[in-house]
Amino acid sequence: FLFIYVDDSFSFQRTGQLSFYPKYGKALPSNLVKLLQLWDFIHLPHEERKQIFGAELPIIGFEVDPNLMQIRMSDDSRLQLISALHEFGQHGTHRTPRDFQHIAGHLNWALNVYLMLRPILCAVYAKTAGKLQQKALIWVNRDVERELEWASGRLLLSEGVFLLNSEFW
């Protein structure tokens, strides 16, 4: 199987099913070699650095493990987000609407793999509703503080999202 989405393609291949691709001078998964040969035939440019394979794959900033059927943020990304939440959610501080938008955007991105965090955006969005002055300051209230603290705790414990859960009968 080979799946293609815009300029990204992905597939699953058993370990060891590699073929030599002369243009890059190395062995790659056989399905990938077939795709690259097709692209060469139709003169579609491609870059070696983008032809990745392995047990874990970086896709749009997430770590995808096709064997575990798991998608998660890298530990570094997750810890950076937790740190940003702690810094942003300091009691008694104030932030610009742009700061609120930035933290909401970061959290929205994390929602792709931490679905249970969805409720935490309520207080952040409520604080910015109707605020048009980008340089105005908005106080970080207890609701925002509590929600960001709750999200930090969940991020520390969460393993991301599993696409399939197998169980013994």
Contact 62, 69 (CB under 8 A): no
What is the value of pTM for the model shown? 0.73
Per the structure block, which two tokens stand in for 155?
Answer: 């991020």
Residues 46, 95 within the same domain = no
Contact 109, 77 (CB under 8 A): no
Is 58 a domain residue? Answer: no
Residues 94, 157 within the same domain = yes
Residues 28, 77 within the same domain = no
Residues 158, 77 within the same domain = yes
Is 26 a domain residue? Answer: yes
Q: How many domains does the chain have?
A: 2
Spatial neighbors of 6 by CB under 8 A, at least 6 apart, are: none
Q: What is the chain's pLDDT, residue by residue, as a tens digit (169 residues)? A: 667 766 666 677 787 899 999 999 999 999 899 999 999 999 999 989 888 888 888 888 899 887 888 999 999 999 999 999 999 999 889 999 999 999 999 999 999 899 888 888 999 999 999 888 888 999 999 999 999 999 999 999 998 988 776 555 5
| C-alpha to C-alpha distance for 139 and 146, rounded to whole angstroms | 14
Is 142 a domain residue? Answer: yes
User: Can you give the residue range of the structural domain that contains 38?
Assistant: 3-53
Residues 77, 155 within the same domain = yes
